[in-house]
Amino acid sequence: MIYETHAHYSRFRFDDDFDAWKAENGKLSYERFTRESLFAAMKESGIACFIEPSIEFDNIPLQIELAKKYPDFIRLAIGVHPKRAVCTKWKNRKAWERYIRDCNAVAVGETGLDYSMPRKNQRRFMQKMWFKYQIKLADELCLPLVLHIRKADDDAIKILEKFKGKLHGGVAHCFNGDLETAKRYLSLGFYIGVGGMILNDGEWSDGLKNAVKNIPLDKILIETDSPYVAPEEVGDEVTKSKRKKVRNCSLILPIILNKIAEIKGVTAEQVEKATYENAVKLFG
């Protein structure tokens, strides 16, 4: 069985018919889906369930509604994404807190720091304020964290280290750092979330692949961040304009499993079993 640990299927990009990537004979192809037919295809491909983390405050009711419709398939993580923290009213934290308590969330997130925006738009103080608040609430609720960290690992890890005794584990989602950075998250009790970026080639990805090669298999989770972070290498037969229109989805997870297995010199079955057990241990 496969445990998808990060996908956003409540997003509007899945509201109507859409083309989405899938694994077919070890390669990527695409097919037309609705949200309902995609979920059916995911179940048929062996995906047992997925975690749907928050991005923006106003979308949380849609997350909850979708999870109620598919109670045995969807688990929720509720949080304030760092890119949205800069425009989320601080007074909303009490309503957000009610959401996370009422929907039986399995984690707090996405939360963290994102410095990928222009410096003038980052509002780092506000990002850090929301991050620390969510760490404290996760401790109060004994929940893990789903971390979104972009170009901010040093600052994020410094904050996490200050709360080291109050952390209940979590995952460094969509990790794209090097081995040394991965080790720092591991030392704080976090898993490393590996997604479609592991499929890409290029010098920039060498650090990620080296990290995956050298960290223990029992510290890796798999994810897609659907509909975002679609793999870049999809074959010459797909035009660049078409590639931009195809949604990422959990049906590419078998190829991610195969790539991790190749890098670590184990079987895909071993990776599937280990990552499923890791996710169950962290999220239930």
Q: Across residues 106-117, what is the average pLDDT?
A: 97
Q: What is the dihedral of CA 193, 3, 82, 62, to 10 degrees?
A: 170
- What is the reported pLDDT for 231? 82
At 200, which amino acid appears?
A: N
Q: What is the dihedral of CA 258, 264, 265, 267, to 10 degrees?
A: -40
CA-to-CA dists, residue 157 to 33, 63, 149, 160, 254, angstroms: 40, 29, 10, 5, 31
Q: In DSSP terms, which residues pair with 2 in a beta bridge?
A: 47
Print the domain residue range for 248. Answer: 2-283
- What is the reported pLDDT for 233? 66
Cis peptide bond prior to 82, omega within 30° of 0: no
- What is the reported pLDDT for 43? 98
Q: Across residues 185-211, what is the average pLDDT?
A: 92
Distance, in Å, from the CA atom of 179 to the CA atom of 189, rounded to the nearest integer, reads 15
- What is the reported pLDDT for 189? 98
Q: Which of 24, 20, 57, 25 is CA-nearest to residue 39?
A: 20
- What is the reported pLDDT for 205? 84
* pLDDT band of 203, cuts 50, 70, 90: confident
pLDDT at 236 exceeding the cut of 60: no
Distance, in Å, from the CA atom of 100 to the CA atom of 98, rounded to the nearest integer, reads 5
Task: For 146-179, write each residue's pLDDT tens digit.
Answer: 999 999 999 999 999 999 999 999 999 999 999 9
Residue % of the chain over a pLDDT of 90: 86
Task: For the chain, give the mean pLDDT.
Answer: 94
Task: For 117-135, write each residue's pLDDT tens digit.
Answer: 999 889 999 999 999 999 9
Distance, in Å, from the CA atom of 11 to the CA atom of 181, rounded to the nearest integer, reads 30
DSSP 226: B
The residue written with tokens 């972009």 in the block is 150
CATH code at 131? Answer: 3.20.20.140
Q: Across residues 223-236, what is the average pLDDT?
A: 83
- What is the reported pLDDT for 154? 98
With H, G, I as helix, E, B as strand and everything else as coil, classify residue 49: strand
- What is the reported pLDDT for 65? 97
Residue % of the chain over a pLDDT of 70: 98
What is the enclosing helix (H) or strand (E) of 146? Answer: strand 145-150
Instruction: Please give the tally of structural domains in the chain.
Output: 1
- What pTM was estimated for this model as a whole? 0.96
89/186: higher pLDDT: 186
Q: Which residues contact 213 (CB under 8 A, 6 or more apart)?
A: 263, 264
Helices (H), the chain: 35-44, 60-69, 82-85, 93-102, 119-122, 124-141, 153-162, 179-187, 206-214, 240-245, 253-264, 268-283
Distance, in Å, from the CA atom of 121 to the CA atom of 99, rounded to the nearest integer, reads 28
* pLDDT band of 97, cuts 50, 70, 90: very high
